[in-house]
Structure 1
Amino acid sequence: MSVKEPSLDTTATTSRAVQFESFGGPEALRIRDVQAPQAGPGQIRVRVTAAGLNPMDWYMTSDAETAGRFGLSLPCGFGTDYAGVVDQVGEGVSEFVVGDRVYGGAMSRAVADHVLVDVAGTIAVGGEAHRTPDGVDDHTAATLTIAGRTAAAALAVVNPRPGETVLIGGAGGGVGVFAVQLARIAGARVIGTGSATSADALRALGAEPVAYGDGVVDRVRALAPAGIDAVMDLHGTDTAQAARDLGVPDQRITTIAAQVDGITPANGANAAPAALEEIADLVAAGRLRVPIAASFPVEQIRAAVELQAARHVHGKVVIDL
């Protein structure tokens, strides 16, 4: 997909930003004209071209109590993953220049025309930026940070090895599309759970599809009579429980959306420092692809969030700015 070239107006004083004036669902989202942020010392300003959506975006802002746990208060922005072009460079910054293509994360403020990023920051504090490799378009770059890091962290927990068989629950979701391909690149056979409508999408990623729900243990045994070596549950706890029923040891099981006693959860914040750049390089080399399920102009932000929150899309949802 192509993304229109942004206008690099380094003197812009106004900016559009998607915000919450009260916490809640998609109906609470508003597009506001705000004062454009200006890059200070140690900062860059990014003219955002695309923002990728993740379940954490709407989870964090669903109510005041949850938002408070993430340090968010009203008025609050929305979205974390972004891609775009540097259009301002603050004093003391040597890592980037105006015109550099970048991608990264800025917690709950990425869906906006302009995002300030601290060059030495983190996703949660100040934001972070990485150079977008040649051969990676902005739509794809805008999907990498949260899902890619989370998938890398999950793989690090279960450590799939060549010749092993890995079961991935929720394999067609935003994290799943990365986890399936990374496990295949590691040399593992992958069985992925999903709905009947996701079967072709899973096969395209390199996974053998199996329907989730009642009877999944028997269906997995039929596909892998020699057994399952490692399991990643990317949706809840059902696949983790199935893993135990299949005799998989707890140390080879992980979850990302729930915690189970005895099982180590995976958190993208704990991914190896170079994991994200390695994923971007795999995309640039054509070894990993990110299916974009849908893209929406920012004016349709509510419809985009409703689609993403339904958890039935096969791939990623992206906002164009």
Structure 2
Amino acid sequence: MTSADPATTETRKANRSRWARLSYRIALLIAILLIGSAIATTVFSVRSVQRTYSKQSTESVTNVHKSVTDTISVANKNVIAYEDAAIASRKNQLKDQSNAVVTALDALNAEVKAGQISLADAQAQALLYLKTIRYGDEYYFFTYNRALTAISHPDPRFEGKNLRDLKDADGSYILRGMQKLTDAKGSGYYNYNFTKLGAAKPSPKISYVFNYKPWDWLVGTGVYIDDIQAEAESRRAAVRKTLSDQFGAVTFNGGGLFFVLDKKGKVVVAPKGKNLADLAKTPAGKETVKVIEAAVPKKDGTIIELNKSVTLQGKNKQ
């Protein structure tokens, strides 16, 4: 039996130790690489999910936005169509009644030309006729001479008075404007604000006026359209309520919500149960509105994305 050389034995031990340490380091490196790969995969997966979720959220918001826009557009067109049709009907009524008056005045003037009646008598009959005409519930005719003195008017406040300087609620000269219109075109529609008999506040009114050339009279009749505007506003209010209910049912992660601003930056539709009054009252809210308004496209379109933090009801919202 031969005994091993001590030096050789130590060398073998040293070699085994070096291989062991190298194997450990390789194993550790592999482990680190695997962990790094797992982290990278996880980060990539998370970011992919975030991108997918963000895309889905954006698509969801865009779809709801389009639906809301379409609803508002259709509702607004319907209200405008109602207003246009109702006002057109009133205008036609004014013109039809005025045409009947012109026919009656022409008949009297024909008698004057035929020598059957004097001009003074014909005009006296005409003024009485114009003063007593009534149609609808409250509509009448008014008549002014070239000086804009009321020579026939059912309202005793105006009868016999010169109303050249009469102004409407907006400060416009009513009779001067009417005379300018009839001098230029012969007849037409004139819009102004006037106070009804017995009323305290002025209401929007449309008059059809014409110049009866044989006698140089300014003759007209008008109708108030506040009832049409009230009905239109009632319809708009119904649309706003419907949208508010729908907005209240739409939920987004992070407390997102839909609301509608008008051109003045006022919140006209908020989700049911939400108070967004601070947008119009607080400095932060007003600043947010300015940022939103600045981002509105020059042409019809959607603001794809706009991030802004604002404090509402003591809480910071984005």
Q: Which structure has the highest strand share of the two?
A: 1
Q: Which structure has the highest helix share of the two?
A: 2
Structure with larger Rg:
2
Alignment TM-score > 0.5, same fold: no
TM-score range, shorter chain: under 0.3
User: TM-score scaled by structure 2?
Assistant: 0.24
Name the structure, 1 or 2, with higher relative contact order (CA <8 Å, separation 6+): 1
User: TM-score scaled by structure 1?
Assistant: 0.23
